[in-house]
């Protein structure tokens, strides 16, 4: 059974994660889409190295390769909400990236 994956939408109607994905080169774009499909297909059965729990209800989809890309998501209302995407440049997930995702998760009703 497929799991529902949603793109977080701002009050103004933009989808920051979708916009982030569309800005990536073709190879990264294809890989990101494949990982999102894995999340749809396997949901909570998807394990590391594909995902990592960051904190209560916040997870990251870990797209690896030449560029390390992260998509932070939450599980809510029986769906997976893609909150924030960024290119990872350090070991730790930067606090500003976490804050962005947390702020967006609070806007989901």
Residue 32: the pLDDT is 97
pLDDT-derived band at 109, boundaries 50, 70, 90: low
| Residue 2 pLDDT greater than 80, yes or no | no
The torsion angles phi and psi of 105, rounded to 5 degrees, stand at -65, -30
What does pTM read for this prediction?
A: 0.94
Architecture of domain 4-107: 2-Layer Sandwich (3.30)
Q: Average of pLDDT values for 80-91?
A: 95
Residue 102: the pLDDT is 95
Please give the helix or strand (H or E) that residue 16 lies within, else none. helix 16-22
Beta strands in the chain (DSSP E): 4-7, 51-55, 58-63, 69-76, 79-87
């Amino acid at each position: 059974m497929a799991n529902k994956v949603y793109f977080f939408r701002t009050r103004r109607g933009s989808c920051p994660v979708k916009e982030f994905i569309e800005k990536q080169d073709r190879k990264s774009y294809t890989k990101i889409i494949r990982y999102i499909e894995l999340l749809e297909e396997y949901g909570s059965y998807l394990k590391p190295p594909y995902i990592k729990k960051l904190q209560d209800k916040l997870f990251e989809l870990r797209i690896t390769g030449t560029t390390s890309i992260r998509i932070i998501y939450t599980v809510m209302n029986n769906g997976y909400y893609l909150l924030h995407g960024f290119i990872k440049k350090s070991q730790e997930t930067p606090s500003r990236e976490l804050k962005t995702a947390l702020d967006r998760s609070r806007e989901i009703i």
